[in-house]
Amino acid sequence: MKELLGKSVSDIHELLSAKKIKAVEVAKVFLEHAKANDSKTSAFICHTDELALSQAEAIDNKIANGETLLPLAAIPLALKDNLCVQGYPTTCASKFLENFKPEYDATVVKKLFAAGTLCVGKVNMDEFAMGSSNENSAMKPAKNPWDLSCVPGGSSGGSAIACASGYSMISLGSDTGGSIRLPASFCGVVGMKPSYGVVSRFGLIAFASSLDQIGPMARRVEDVALALSQMQGKDPQDSTSIDASKISGYPVLSVDSVQTLKKESPKEILKGRKIGLIADTIGEGADSCVREATLDAVKRLEAEGATVEEVSLEYNKHVLPVYYLISSSEASANLARFDGVKYGARAKDAKDLNSLYSISRQEGFGPEVKRRIMLGTYALSSGYYDAYYKKAQQVRRLLLEEYDKLFFEQKFDALLMPTCPNTAFKLGEKTEDPLKMYLSDICTIPANLAGLPAISVPFGLDKKNLPIGLQLMAPRLCDDKLLRLAFALEKLAQSKSTVSPLLAASV
């Protein structure tokens, strides 16, 4: 049954429908594989065997009763540990929340459980989603399944590892400045940040509310598309969420549209498409292997009928300071709720209320979280708000206008660039230099600032056999168009891509 580890979502659906396998068998294969191998990768914070098996039994009962199977029935799912699951630990990989168990499910969790997924566990991350390497986890640093001496990327490192290692078929992460796409790139899987508002954030423990977005990861674009089709939609508990069906011209992603997608060839998808190559992203700061992969992708896209033109954006050079000012300011406000009173860690030696706040936060938060809270509090303080936070928001607006001009005036269908200027780096290599670490997000941050959909697709390996990820960005609310282009890019990369050594040894 280990061959199930390498299957697609549609493969599992066909096997279940034909009654060649049972949902409980699927659950056991993935749970056993994860427990046998995760000592190497440290992807999991919490295994949820009992939950997965009970969900699988419910699906087998539906099959026995002749009920119609949903597309994601019996698909193993891993959840980033900042997504609430009722009655199970939700730690955000922080000592502050190590004993916290929410009393409700996040909306996306509820939707995917209703779709029939099997929750195999809560997975590792940078503390409160603040990091690019998954080394900021207060529980344990996670490791890349392609090379255990390397980082998996962050902050959704555990989610990427779970898919790349075959612990799950789909995983959910959150993306504030690249936290889905960067680990997807480093671990050789597909990771998508949907347009802001397409997926409800209710039940996601907030980092930066105007930037956060929940998105899916998988080893195939079609599986990401199927997951997103079940996750999207308006949620009355999240006022920023969108009912896409009521927006004129928005192509609502559905199971049927994913099936149509699978039948199209790259030439059918790409013919007449206009794609912009953001030239600055493959300049001096990019590794030669990343530059070569990007230019190779350009040649393959053009050979299939797309027009690729180099573009540049004046305000792209400001994205790092703008992002870290805005995200840290919002984090400062969001994390003020962690005070040692209502839930989470509480200092035992506090003498009064102020010392309770101070000591609880000092003991509960890690160094990177404290750094960003301090930066954000300073940027929002009296006398500095206009000079820092307000100015960053103004530049953010100018950046958004630049992207609107490219998409709506110059008629680009999508933009192409590396997901990261480099492939996965060694554990500990950048921990002493926060600014060097922050540069890992230089290509992913713009999509969050502008609220655009963006996706990372594996496109070959470097000389060290580490994955290279390429990123596509599309106009706001054009998630369906983005997935079609990503599917074409994936097809063009098939001869260059493979599975992680850890998974290959197990299938």
Mean pLDDT of 187-200: 97
DSSP 206: P
Confidence check: pLDDT of 369 > 90: yes
Under the banding of pLDDT at 50, 70 and 90, the label for residue 252 is low
Q: Which two tokens stand for residue 123?
A: 């997975």
Q: Rounded to an integer, what distance in angstroms lies between the CA atom of residue 419 and that of residue 57?
A: 39
Catalytic status, residue 155: yes
Q: What pLDDT shows up at residue 331?
A: 97
Mean pLDDT of 431-445: 92
- From the list 133, 155, 165, 360, the catalytic residue is 155
> Position of tokens 């502050």?
96
Q: What pLDDT shows up at residue 218?
A: 97
Confidence check: pLDDT of 247 > 90: no
Catalytic status, residue 40: no
Q: What pLDDT shows up at residue 253?
A: 65
* Chain centroid, CA 335 distance in Å: 21
Higher pLDDT, 340 or 149: 149
- From the list 80, 143, 193, 491, the catalytic residue is 80
Q: Which two tokens stand for residue 335?
A: 């994390």
Give me the percent of the chain exceeding a pLDDT of 70: 97
Q: What 3 state SS string does 266-300 have?
A: HHHHHCCCEEEEEHHHHCCCCCHHHHHHHHHHHHH
Cα-Cα-Cα-Cα torsion 376, 379, 382, 386, nearest 10 degrees, comes to -140
191, 114 Cβ separation under 8 angstroms:
no
Under the banding of pLDDT at 50, 70 and 90, the label for residue 429 is very high
Q: Rounded to an integer, what distance in angstroms lies between the CA atom of residue 438 and that of residue 431?
A: 10
Q: What pLDDT shows up at residue 497?
A: 63
- From the list 179, 229, 241, 328, the catalytic residue is 179
- Candidates 90, 175, 183; CA nearest to 142 is 183
The pLDDT tens digits of the residues spanning 262-321 come to 778 999 999 999 999 998 999 888 999 999 999 999 999 999 999 999 999 999 999 999
Q: What pTM, to 2 d.p., does this model score?
A: 0.96
132-136, 347-351, 399-403, 431-435: least confidently modelled range: 347-351
Catalytic status, residue 80: yes
Confidence check: pLDDT of 53 > 80: yes
Edge-to-edge strand list for the sheet holding 307-311: 44-47, 118-123, 76-80, 170-174, 214-218, 190-193, 454-461, 467-473, 414-418, 274-278, 307-311
Domains along the chain?
Answer: 2-263 (3.90.1300.10)
DSSP 424: -
Mean pLDDT estimate for the chain: 94
- Candidates 111, 57, 52, 55; CA nearest to 83 is 111
32-41, 115-124, 268-277, 281-290: least confidently modelled range: 281-290
